């Protein structure tokens, strides 16, 4: 491949990547990622009600189901609808210990890095 074509190819890939968003065909609304119940803007709003020591059921009632869970179910991650390729973004990450919320906060999404 000629080197002068590389920037154009990279730009095409980056421009196409944000379009990898699931949209409801009837309403044209963006659908939350994974198993996440609410749009990320709603999750951010509801997260203001999170408190350390809440049970998993209380957290589910507060912010809904997460986009991703760890294998053991002790880490939950809520993701924005769009990937953080061109626009910096954050995810909400919750940690549970003995089924109680022990830590939570927003973390920058860095491509290739685990949250």
Q: Report the pLDDT value the prediction gives residue 34, as an integer from 0 to 100.
A: 76
In a domain, 4, yes or no: no
Question: How many domains does the structure of the chain reveal?
Answer: 1
pTM for the whole thing?
Answer: 0.71
pLDDT tens digit string along 47-102?
999 999 999 999 999 999 999 999 999 999 999 886 555 556 889 999 999 999 99
In a domain, 3, yes or no: no
Task: Determine the structural domain holding residue 77 and report its residue range.
Answer: 32-108
pLDDT tens digit string along 33-52?
678 989 999 999 999 999 99
In a domain, 102, yes or no: yes
Is residue 102 a contact partner of residue 86, using CB atoms and an 8 Å limit?
Answer: no
């Amino acid at each position: 491949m000629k080197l002068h074509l590389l920037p154009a190819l990279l730009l095409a890939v980056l421009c196409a990547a944000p379009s990898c968003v699931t949209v409801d065909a009837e309403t044209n609304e963006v659908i939350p990622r994974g198993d996440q119940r609410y749009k990320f803007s709603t999750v951010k709003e509801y997260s203001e009600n999170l408190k350390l020591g809440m049970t998993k059921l209380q957290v589910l009632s507060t912010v809904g189901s997460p986009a991703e869970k760890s294998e053991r179910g002790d880490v939950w991650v809520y993701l924005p609808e769009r990937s953080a390729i061109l626009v910096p973004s954050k995810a909400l990450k919750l940690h549970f210990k003995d089924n109680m919320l022990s830590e939570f906060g927003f973390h920058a999404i860095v491509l290739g890095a685990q949250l």
